[in-house]
Structure formats: structure tokens, C-alpha cells
Amino acid sequence: MALKLHNITKRFGSFTAVDELNLEIPEKQIFGFLGANGAGKTTTFRMILGLIDASEGDITWNDAAINYDKSHLIGYLPEERGLYPKLTVKDQLVYLGRLRGMNKQAILQELDKWLERFNVTEYRTKKIEELSKGNQQKIQFISAVIHKPQLLILDEPFSGLDPLNVELLKKAVIDMKNEGTSIVFSSHRMEHVEELCEHLCIMHKGSPVVHGSLKEVKRSFGKKNVVVHADFDVTYLKELPGVVKYKVVTGGCELQIENEQVAATIFDSLSGKGFVRTFDLEEPTLNDIFIEKVGASYE
Amino acid sequence: MLLMNKFMIIVGHTYTNRLKSKAFMITTLITLLFVMAFANLETIIGLFSGEDEEERVAVVEEGANLFEHLQGQLEPYESEVKVEKFEGTEQEAKDAVTDGDYVGVLSVSLAEDNIPQGTYYTEQISEYKVSSLLEQALQQLKVTVASQSAQVEQATINEIMSPVAFEKVSLKEDAKTEEELSQTRGLVYIMLFLLYFGVLMYGSMISTEVATEKSSRVMEILISSVSPVKQMFGKIFGIALLGLTQFGLIVLVGYIAVQQNKEFLDSTSISSYLGFSNIEISTLIYAIVFFLLGYMLYATIAAVLGSLVSRTEDAQQVMTPMILLIVVAFFLAMTGLSNPEATYVTVTSFIPLFTPMLMFLRVGMLEVPMWEVAISLVILVATIVALGIIGGRIYRGGVLLYGRSSSFKDIKKALQLTKKE
């Protein structure tokens, strides 16, 4: 079971977009696919969907290749959004839904449910071009999920949405997962990935630099963060051995440290100096990991 | 089963979406009005000319006494021009023209040898019909007068004036007779026009359709649901159905209109000129076959070209080479109409891009050996299949290709996208 990418390489002429990618994306979970622009995320998605062929390697889903016979089991939200500008929301989704193997009646039923859920029932008979960008995106999302796919691929699903709508869509994604859909999604926004994903992969120039479950990834990163808020001057902390990064914040500082032992040293050095309001040892954020893993090779 | 279904969904969507569009309804309506107007041409002309509208011409004679003869000559054309003897001077007659009583004044006099001559005064100097009728009548009169003075019998004159008997007979046994030829010529003519306009109109419809889906970026969702090749042919068939609907309507309305005006059309030469009365069934079948194949060929090219552009505005531009090809084929066929046995017609009728027009021209106008037709059909069908396969691949890559340029280099890029390397 699950979606397996085995030794996937994709070359466009002399340019290698994806380089020997091995991934196993578990069933009924949300898998985060991270990477800077041009890291090969969209290309990978297109290969999974069979829109383009991999130069090498193979992709299987439930031990079989994905082809158009299975398109009713798969949902896709492309990064470049687009619907028929001149068609109404209803006509649009009826057409796209039928192409995913649904019948008209079922589509209309599902459509009403989703429109209600996204608070956009009044747009049912409006043309797409009359809708705001955010609302178009909701319709686009509906088009990707209306047929209750087993595998859902979301390319940057939350970009360009206001925080309220991001929450609305996030909730929908989580509900889809709970109903048994396997979801792969890409994002630049680390906090979304952190919030939603059990497993993730950070792509850099076509290869995965980090890969695994969120907990593992954080644990194996080693470095941790320490937040100190104190009534006295704490700038001396940046000179301590094992402190990698130092950042002044109101009422104290945030430190990135080599490992957990350093935290103990810091704690000891702080004691007796005065009143410490906060001392917090935190797991590294995905943002830290991303910047380190991807940013390092930019330099 | 499921796959066939999706194909039909695309065909249906393309068809109904276009059918419901305002642009389609308006163009169809205008065409239908035009067809009805054409069938009722005589009634419409009659509306404008009215009954008392025959042109009155005043005739002033100076020393001649030819009015009776002139009137006699013009009698067959009574509905168009009517001469009246004007009692008065030439100046008075001209004044009457200025007042609007007459359309012009014909002043007839006798030159030496009693030969009649005339001057026609009118305000409508660009008007052609009346003056030429008058000139003809006077010419006849001159011949009569001149031959009478040379004492030639009227019977002899009639014999001199009557047209010579001339007939063209082919020495080839199965060639078409001149009569058959002129009948099929009309049909071929119409068919060439239909093919020309059909391919231009529906071809650009297809390429715009594809380009619109690309520019609105809905394409990526579509190709994740249905294979691009299926989409391409779905569009081609959808638009074909649309074309058949449009042509069907036109033929139906045209037929009804013609039936209602049967008397008029039978009495004039139009129907026999167009060759409706006596068409061979085989010619009709060829017309349909070549039309459909021609459509398939150019529609496939149009769809592929449409898949290469990123913006709808560029769709027309990328179509230009194809349109030029159709224009060339059309002109070859039009010039070939008067000389269907020319070598260039024979040669080009085997080039697949020209076959639909030129081979049809040949089978319509000549007795072409069956094997020649078969060869051209095989080449044409093979080309369509090859184009379908290659075009499908270009289409598949092209729809994922976005860029500012829309050059033909993109064909290479598009093909590269579908390759593994």
C-alpha cells in the first residue's frame, strides 16, 4: 500500500529537475513536501500524476502505476490556479466532476455541501471571473476534493488566502484525512506543515535533504532553541560554548544551541544572577531546519 | 467503458458550450437570414423595383421616321425600358428629363446612306442597362436598314444573325458530357467554398478553445483527469458536431426556402447552373468523404497549434501558416475548376494537405481511375493518423508548456517534455 517513489530522476535536456528521489508516502496521513522555488516539487507531483514521465525510476500507488483509469481516485490542486472564467461555478464543477467519474446528481449534492461549508452558497450560479481570487481558490479546492479522492495532491493550497480562509481550508484538509484520504501537499509555509503533517520531506535542487516523520526530523536535527527572559543583562550568553545563534527579543533573548547539554550550562550560568521570568527549552522549528538545510548550500 | 464515457463528456461539453454561446447563435442566425434572402432574391428585388418602375425614355426624331421600328425592337424588354415618342423639340425633351418625367432622351437622326444614329441624354450617366438596350435596338435597326437598302431578304438577315451550332464532344468514352460538367462544376464550387470556410472557421474555433483552456490554466486539472490526446480528439469531434449542426440548419432552411420558391428557381437558370437537378450519387458521397477527412486533417493541426500558445491572443497568430495553406489549396482548386486536367491539379491532388479540395475537384469534374482516388485517400488517412499520433504528443507536452514566445521552436520543446529524457 501507500505511494512509493523509487529512484525517481527527471531530466529536461541537460537540466536535472529531480535527482534519484526515494520516497514512501504513507496511507491516510498528510505528507508535507517542502522546498524552495525550483526545488522540483511541482515536477514530482506531475510525475506522480503521470502528466510527465520520469526519466528513470518508477512510481507506484498501491503497487500499481497511476494512470487515467484511476483518475476518479485522485484529486489534484495545481499550483497555477485556473478554472473556466466564463462558466458558472455549478457548470464548472459538474463538468470537472463528471471527468472524475461522478454523475451529475452526486456532484450537485456534494457541491451544495461544500459551498455551505465555505460560506459561498451565493456564488453557485456566478461566473468564475466574477469571483474574488480567494473565492476562486475555494472553488478550485472543491474541484479537487468533490469526488472524495483516495489520494489528494495539493500544490501550495494555502497561498494567497487570508488567515480566516486558511483556517477553513486547513480544517477541510484535516477532515479529509480523518475520512481516510492520503494527502500530499507542498508549501513554503513551515508553520502549516508543522501543524498538519505527520511525515515530511524537504527538497533541495531535486534531492531530498530531510526526510522522515516530523518528530524524527526534529530529533535528528539535534540543535534546540532556548528562550530566556530575565530582569538582568543576558548578552553574555552568546559567548558561551555551544551557542550557535543569538537573537535579542523584548525582555531577553532566543538562542539556538548545539544540543541539550548546552541548555544545562546556560541554566547553571543564569542561576544566582537575578530573577528569570522564562527559561524554555524548545524543539527546533521546521523553519530552523529548513533554513539550515536549504540555506546552507546557498552560501 | 469509463474511458469512452469521458470522451463523450468532453465532446458533449465542447458542443453544448459552443452551441449556447451568443457568438455562435448570432453567426448562425445571420447565415440563415442570408440563405433565406438568397432564395427569395426575386421577391426582394421585386419589392424594390415595383410595377410602374420601368424606365421611360423620350424619343426625339430629326428627319427620321423610325420610332415604330425602335418600339418593335424594344418590345421584349418592355418591363425594363419603355420608349415614348416626344412631340416637341429636343430641348423641351431635355427639360422634361430634368423635371423627372423621363429617365433620358434618345435623339435619333439619319446619317448619310439613311443609316440611323442616336445620342442618349441622361442624368444617370453611370446607368448601364437602359443605354445598352437602346444601343442594341439601334444596332439592330441599323442592320435592318442597311441590308434593306442593299436589297437583302429578311430571311437571309435572320440566318446571318442566328448563332452558330457548336458542340463539344469528348473522345474519351467515359468522360462527362459538357452538360454534366457544368452541373458538377456548380456542386464542386459550392463544396470548395464550404470546405474553405468550414476549415477556417471551425479550425480557429478549435485552436482558440485549446488556447483558452491553456491561458486560464484549467488545462492542468483537465489533463490530470483525462489524457490530453483524448481531450484533443474530444474537442475536434465536439466542434465537428457543432459544424454539422450549423450546416444541417443551413441546408434545411435553404431547402425549405427553395421549395417555397420552386417556380422562380425552376424558371431561372440558377438551379441548373448549380447542378442540383442531376447530381451523381457518387459525387455526393465523395463530397462528404473529402469534407470530413479535410476537416479532420486541418482540425488536428489547429488543435496542436493551439496547444503551443500560452495566451488566447496568440492563437490566431500561430494559425497563420495553416490558413495560408488552406488559401493556397483554395486558389489551386479555383483555378483548376476551369482546367481540371492540368498537370498541377493532378500532382497536388496527391499532396495530403491539398487532397480534400483538389482530388474532390478531379473526381467531380473528370473520370478519375479508382486506384488514383484510393491512393490519395490512403495517403490522406495515413497523414491524419500520423498527425494524430505526433500531434497528440506535441499536444501533451504543449499544454504544460508556458512561455512568452509562441514560435515553432516550441514544437521541439513540447516533444521534449513528453520524452523521458
Residue contact A53–B225, C-beta within 8 A: no
Residue type, A87: L
**Closest chain A residue by Cα to residue B3:** A69
Q: Taking every pair of C-alpha atoms in chain B, what is the biggest distance, in angstroms?
A: 100
**Closest chain A residue by Cα to residue B226:** A68
* Chain B CB within 8 Å of residue A101 CB: yes
Tell me the average pLDDT across A263-283: 87
* Chain A CB within 8 Å of residue B415 CB: no
Q: Which residue has the higher pLDDT, A150 or A82?
A: A150
* Chain B CB within 8 Å of residue A83 CB: yes
Lowest mean pLDDT among A28-32, B33-37, B119-123, B169-173: B169-173
> Is the pLDDT reported for residue B258 higher than 60?
yes
Tell me the average pLDDT across B384-388: 89
> Is the pLDDT reported for residue B369 higher than 80?
yes
> Is the pLDDT reported for residue B175 higher than 70?
no
Contacts of B10 in chain A (CB under 8 A): 99
Residue contact A82–B216, C-beta within 8 A: yes
Residue contact B216–A85, C-beta within 8 A: yes
> Is the pLDDT reported for residue A11 higher than 90?
no
Residue contact A11–B421, C-beta within 8 A: yes
The cell numbers describing B46, all together, are 421585386
Residue contact A51–B400, C-beta within 8 A: yes
ipTM tops 0.90:
no
Residue contact B223–A11, C-beta within 8 A: no
Nearest-neighbour CA in chain B from A251: distance (Å): 50
Contacts of A46 in chain B (CB under 8 A): 400
Mean pLDDT (chain B) is 81
* Chain A CB within 8 Å of residue B69 CB: no
Tell me the average pLDDT across B96-115: 82
Tell me the average pLDDT across A187-204: 87
What is residue A116's predicted lDDT score, i.e. its pLDDT? 93
What is residue B177's predicted lDDT score, i.e. its pLDDT? 65
What is the residue extent of each domain of chain A?
3-218, 223-283
Tell me the average pLDDT across B87-108: 84
> Is the pLDDT reported for residue A113 higher than 90?
yes
Tell me the average pLDDT across B56-65: 80
Among A99, A155, A184, the residue to mutate for chain B (most B Cβ within 10 A): A99
What is residue A231's predicted lDDT score, i.e. its pLDDT? 86
SS3 B49: helix
> Is the pLDDT reported for residue B358 higher than 80?
yes
> Is the pLDDT reported for residue B266 higher than 70?
no
What is residue B278's predicted lDDT score, i.e. its pLDDT? 57
Nearest-neighbour CA in chain A from B407: distance (Å): 19
> Is the pLDDT reported for residue B215 higher than 90?
no
Angle of helix A163-178 relative to helix A133-145, nearest 10 degrees? 0
Q: Which residue has the higher pLDDT, B382 or B195?
A: B382
Contacts of B230 in chain A (CB under 8 A): 68
> Is the pLDDT reported for residue B163 higher than 80?
no
**What Cα–Cα distance (Å) separates residue B221 from each residue in A95, A198, B210, B216?**
11, 27, 14, 11
* Chain A CB within 8 Å of residue B232 CB: no
Tell me the average pLDDT across B201-218: 88
What is residue A221's predicted lDDT score, i.e. its pLDDT? 83
* Chain A CB within 8 Å of residue B357 CB: no
Residue contact B221–A74, C-beta within 8 A: no
What's the pLDDT band for B1 if we cut at 50, 70, 90? Answer: very low
Cα dihedral across residues A45, B220, B312, B295: positive or negative: positive
The answer regarding whether domain A223-283 maps to CATH 3.40.50 reads: no
DSSP A242: T
Contacts of B2 in chain A (CB under 8 A): 69, 72, 101
d(CA A153, CA A165) in angstroms, rounded, equals 19
Tell me the average pLDDT across A277-292: 86
> Is the pLDDT reported for residue B263 higher than 70?
no
* Chain A CB within 8 Å of residue B209 CB: no
Query: E strands along chain A, which residues?
Result: 3-12, 15-25, 30-35, 56-61, 74-77, 151-155, 182-187, 199-204, 207-213, 224-230, 243-249, 252-257, 276-282
DSSP codes, A134-175: HHHHHHHHHHHHTT--SEEEEESTTTT--HHHHHHHHHHHHH
Q: List the CATH code of the domain at A3-218.
A: 3.40.50.300
Residue A39 neighbours by CB under 8 Å, 6+ apart: A203, A204, A205, A206, A294
Q: Which residue has the higher pLDDT, B236 or A13?
A: B236
> Is the pLDDT reported for residue A93 higher than 60?
yes
Which residues 54-73 on chain A approach chain B with CB closer than 8 angstroms? 54-56, 68-69, 71-72
Tell me the average pLDDT across A2-24: 87
Residue contact B416–A52, C-beta within 8 A: no
* Chain A CB within 8 Å of residue B241 CB: no
Mean pLDDT (chain A) is 88
What is residue B264's predicted lDDT score, i.e. its pLDDT? 57
d(CA B220, CA B417) in angstroms, rounded, equals 14
Lowest mean pLDDT among A108-122, A262-276, B290-304: A262-276
**Closest chain A residue by Cα to residue B395:** A51
* Chain A CB within 8 Å of residue B217 CB: yes
What is residue A273's predicted lDDT score, i.e. its pLDDT? 84
Sheet (strand B104-110) strand order: B81-85, B55-62, B104-110, B116-122
Contacts of A16 in chain B (CB under 8 A): none
Asked whether this chain's domains A3-218 and A223-283 adopt the same fold, the reply is: no
What's the pLDDT band for A290 if we cut at 50, 70, 90? Answer: confident
Q: Which residue has the higher pLDDT, B305 or B415?
A: B305
For A31-53, give one letter per residue: b (16+ CB within 10 A) or e.
Answer: bbbbbeeebbbbbbbbbbbbbbe
> Is the pLDDT reported for residue A44 higher than 70?
yes
Tell me the average pLDDT across B203-209: 90
What is residue A299's predicted lDDT score, i.e. its pLDDT? 41
Contacts of B419 in chain A (CB under 8 A): 53
Nearest to B86 by CA among B100, B69, B102: B102
Residue type, B252: L
**Closest chain A residue by Cα to residue B419:** A53
d(CA A272, CA B265) in angstroms, rounded, equals 116
What is residue B267's predicted lDDT score, i.e. its pLDDT? 53
> Is the pLDDT reported for residue B76 higher than 60?
yes
Which residues 257-276 on chain A approach chain B with CB closer than 8 angstroms? none
> Is the pLDDT reported for residue B23 higher than 60?
yes
Among A46, A53, A68, the residue to mutate for chain B (most B Cβ within 10 A): A68
What's the pLDDT band for B421 if we cut at 50, 70, 90? Answer: low
What is residue B5's predicted lDDT score, i.e. its pLDDT? 83
What's the pLDDT band for B275 if we cut at 50, 70, 90? Answer: very low
> Is the pLDDT reported for residue B407 higher than 90?
no
From the CA atom positions of chain A, what is the Rg in Å?
A: 23
Nearest residue, CB atoms, B218 vs list A12, A84, A98: A84
Tell me the average pLDDT across B117-123: 85
From the CA atom positions of chain B, what is the Rg in Å?
A: 31
Residue contact B217–A68, C-beta within 8 A: no
Lowest mean pLDDT among A46-60, A126-140, B184-198, B215-229: B184-198
Q: Count Cβ atoms below 10 Å from residue A122 Cβ, excluding itself.
A: 8
* Chain B CB within 8 Å of residue A21 CB: no
Tell me the average pLDDT across B204-215: 88
Contacts of A49 in chain B (CB under 8 A): 224
Contacts of A68 in chain B (CB under 8 A): 3, 225-227, 230
Residue contact B417–A74, C-beta within 8 A: no
Residue contact A55–B217, C-beta within 8 A: no
d(CA B63, CA B72) in angstroms, rounded, equals 19
- pTM for this entry: 0.75
* Chain B CB within 8 Å of residue A211 CB: no
Tell me if A218 sits within 8 A of A230, measured CB to CB: no
